[in-house]
Chain A
Amino acid sequence: MVLTAPVTSYAVERATLRNGLRVVVAPDRSAPVVAVAVYYDVGIRSEPEGRTGFAHLFEHLMFQGSASLQKMDHVKYVQSSGGTLNGSTRLDYTNYYEALPSNALERALFLEADRMRAPAVTEENLANQIAVVKEEIRVNVLNQPYGGFPWLTLPPVLFESFPNAHNGYGGFEDLESATVEDARDFFDRYYAPGNAVLAVGGDLDPDAAMELIRTHFGDVPRRTVPDRPDFDEPAPTSERRAEHVDPLAPAPAVALGWRVPDPHDLDAYLPYVVLTSVLATGDASRLRRRLVQEDRIASDVGAHIAFMEDAFDVRNPTALLVEAHHTAEVPSDRVVAAVDEELDRVATGGVPDDELERVRARLTSALLQGQDHVLSRTLAMASFEQQRGRAELVGELPALLGAVTGEQVAAAAAELLPDTRARLDIVAGGAR
């Protein structure tokens, strides 16, 4: 059976305030909840040498108080309104967001505006959050088998320049040497309203919401917006390899990464997104069938784009990644050879129409499920608006992915050759 792809669309109203803040508002009255997201156009790639991990540490500091609020007030006001909140630091942006019952919209706007106006960083809060971030790194990386695999361990193999290659969680010595002065400078330089996008979605009246946004954000002082550097660097011309001894891992693993076209050029980029789904989404995918079900040389295999698995939130340069967990009895060369053969099969044999239809249906369904969530939809809108000036892509993406042809997917696979990739082997030190 062939299903016609269902289409959703979200009305988007946009404005740019006089201080440069770009705003998108997208109503959806289906449930009495709203989401508020602020995206600052600075991330891990903008950290200076000697300050690895600073973008993420600074994200923590944005929760420590602001012009009108004491430490923890921000969190308490959101949660006592019935809301949830968080922030995250990515390669190309840092975001802050809340999802709340719709009667708390104005409060959430106030809270975000207050810290855009002036976070309140003290020596004491800085020391406290350095300690918290070190525990975050211990729990996710240092005390965890496969910690940082491959998002922290593969970039230094694939990339050469500091912005692209360095550890975004940061070294402890860099974190410990961070100062309040550094935080002030970082805020002044990168957190100007003109360097941010505000997205608000859900159960709201767009005119009333826009009015509230002007009330609370309108007088955040305008500041100079930094030029965003081009972080591009040459792609590998021969295979780059490394090994990482993981003392906690009970079995080996291998990750491969290839550069892909600039995500800004959707026509060139989307075939690689479809390719990851052909390769490794679900039990009918090529690599799952070959490596897991038939050859049984891997217990898990995945394929995705971007080191933080955020294919539509990343800028150039980025990569298509394939990762597999296998046993010590299976040499990783055998796993890699099977991946190469399957890529070659896509490149030379193409993707039959029936398979492409199936992959499209699954991609569409996954995107629709993301849209159903007011927060994930609003986050996607903020990111699309910031990087592409088009929040509407959130509803348009299924059709764009649906237009990718089998020939384009085959051509993408043909680019993924052994001599242009990075390869990282995890050597298991913790076999028991």
Chain B
Amino acid sequence: MSPKAKALAPREVPGLARPRKPRLPTVAERVLPNGLRVVAVRRPSVPVVHVRLRVPTAVRRDEDLARSAMLERGMLLGTAERSQGELAEALQRIGGSLRVSGDADRLLLAGESLRAGLPELLRLLTEVLVGASYPRRQVEGEAARLADQLRRAWSQPGVVADESWLRRMYGGHPYGREHPDADEVLAVPPASLRAAQRRRVVPDGSLLVLVGDLTPARALDQVAAAMSGWNSTGGPSRVPAVRPAQQGPLLLVDRPGAVQSNLRVGGPAPARTDPSYPAAEVTNALYGGYFSSRLVMNIREDKGYTYSPRSALRHGAAASCLVTSADVATEVTAPALVEVGYELGRLVSLPPTADEVAATAQYLVGILALSTATQAGLAGTLTALLADGLDVTWLREHPAALLAVTPEDVHEAAQTLLAPATRITTVVGDAARIETPLSALTEVVRA
């Protein structure tokens, strides 16, 4: 063999070395007299600290969505002590930032600072929690700005597709909407926000997670010192119970002239605390949850219908779901939907191979390790776990549970997770070109 031919001859792929077990983070915890649960974890990989404050306050009625959005956007517009600019400067000075986001179940205040800035970060966080002042002029400006941003969001086909599917899945339940309309946020009275914060942003039932270059016991003391003045009373609120979705005809949202169609297909899924969750997680991934999945192999790598097809599990406090997303060329809308149905049905009808299941479980174990290997990733994962009533031992136990999932477990999970009987489908696209081909497959209604 010539040297060149030898260099290019096929070789054996190396096996894996012995895995190094991730060390479970050491967690220090305290519940403050005001009811706030505080959890601190030392991870000194870089001289930064992260904080995540999760406030379980729910969107309970339709009109709450816009109000919640304005609460999120208004909280950093000034306090009793500082203007918006002064607050932003104080955060910037410690290499910090603070962001407020939310969904139907909760508000989340997330921030970070350089190591030495932690006491100041906690002071500023408390100042916002106790004394956000929602100055009228600033709130009106922010509402106009949010309205502009929402108009831009609603012009994106992906947003329209996601919202259409959620609406179809959850109906009038708060989970049925993520983005309010521009007009709704403009109608929120600025003067109502202070009271709304006092009522809804309360320490009892809230969770504060700190991760980074800190000493846990000392950090807990610093939190206790900084945050004891946060005393608004009240408790957590929850969304109403979710009624099982009614399967119905494919919902078609017309987008004249669109060069792609946005498919969304899905149904209910088990919660993270459900005993069947490890099997559901493997099932989702194997079907469409990662690049090696059947769905990607089929409609991207074999047929070239789409760039990034995927399925994902989404969790709310009252319900979880699995959604398949694929943005496909207009001319292959119907064939792409056929293939999605084929891949769903295939797993419902036949168990996968043991190799497929093992590869998928190993992937999920690996990405859990990767996602908890940074301060920010660990903070986010811990916050989600603790909010679900789980604890840090889940980080050790869940990988073992994933690796124990069998092909039969996946087959069983698929019966409910992927079953045609519970499937809800929406399509955003050029109805003039896709309605007839879709109607040949299934009943179609227009939005």
Which residues in A have some Cβ–Cβ distance to B below 8 Å? 1-6, 8, 28, 30-33, 67-69, 71-73, 75-77, 79-85, 99-107, 110-111, 114, 117-118, 127-136, 138-139, 142-146, 203, 219-221, 247-251, 282-284, 289, 292-293, 296, 299-300, 325, 327, 357-359, 361-362, 364-366, 368-369, 371-374, 430, 432
A-B contact pairs, 27 of them (CB 8 A): A31-B372, A31-B373, A33-B369, A79-B292, A81-B16, A81-B362, A82-B362, A83-B363, A84-B370, A101-B370, A103-B18, A104-B16, A104-B17, A107-B15, A110-B13, A127-B304, A132-B306, A138-B327, A145-B156, A221-B7, A284-B85, A292-B145, A293-B141, A325-B152, A365-B48, A372-B374, A372-B375
Nearest B residue to A113 by beta-carbon distance?
Answer: B11
| Complex interface: chain B residues within 8 A of A357 (CB) | 93
Cα distance A5–B95 in the bound complex, in angstroms: 9
Q: Is B48 within 8 A of A32, CB to CB?
A: no
| Complex interface: chain A residues within 8 A of B156 (CB) | 144-145
Q: Is B45 within 8 A of A30, CB to CB?
A: yes
Q: Is B260 within 8 A of A143, CB to CB?
A: yes
> B153 to chain A: closest CB distance in Å?
10
Q: With A83-B366, A101-B369, A145-B156 as known contacts, state yes or no: A1 contacts B93, CB within 8 Å.
A: yes
B308 CB within 8 Å of chain A: yes
Cα distance A221–B154 in the bound complex, in angstroms: 53
Q: Is B297 within 8 A of A82, CB to CB?
A: no
Cα distance A117–B4 in the bound complex, in angstroms: 10
Cα distance A296–B258 in the bound complex, in angstroms: 33
Nearest B residue to A107 by beta-carbon distance?
Answer: B14
| Complex interface: chain A residues within 8 A of B302 (CB) | 128
Q: Is A82 within 8 A of B369, CB to CB?
A: yes
Q: Is B155 within 8 A of A250, CB to CB?
A: yes
Nearest A residue to B309 by beta-carbon distance?
Answer: A135
> A401 to chain B: closest CB distance in Å?
12
Contact of B11 among A8, A68, A139, A365 (CB under 8 A): A68
Number of residues on chain B facing chain A (CB within 8 A) = 91
| Complex interface: chain A residues within 8 A of B141 (CB) | 292-293, 296
- Chain B 296-325 interface 0/1 with A at a Cβ cutoff of 8 Å (1 = within): 010011111111100000000000000000
Q: Is A361 within 8 A of B92, CB to CB?
A: yes
Q: Is B148 within 8 A of A327, CB to CB?
A: yes
Q: With A67-B11, A143-B157, A299-B145 as known contacts, state yes or no: A72 contacts B301, CB within 8 Å.
A: yes
Interface-side segment among B108-116, B344-352, B389-397: B108-116
Which residues in B have some Cβ–Cβ distance to A below 8 Å? 3-4, 6-22, 43, 45-48, 76, 84-85, 87-89, 91-97, 112-117, 120, 138, 141, 144-145, 148-149, 151-152, 154-157, 257-260, 290-292, 297, 300-308, 327-329, 358-360, 362-363, 365-367, 369-370, 372-376
Q: With A72-B292, A219-B7 as known contacts, state yes or no: A299 contacts B148, CB within 8 Å.
A: yes
| Complex interface: chain B residues within 8 A of A247 (CB) | 257
Q: With A325-B148, A369-B48 as known contacts, state yes or no: A143 contacts B88, CB within 8 Å.
A: no
Q: With A75-B292, A101-B19, A299-B145 as known contacts, state yes or no: A144 contacts B157, CB within 8 Å.
A: yes
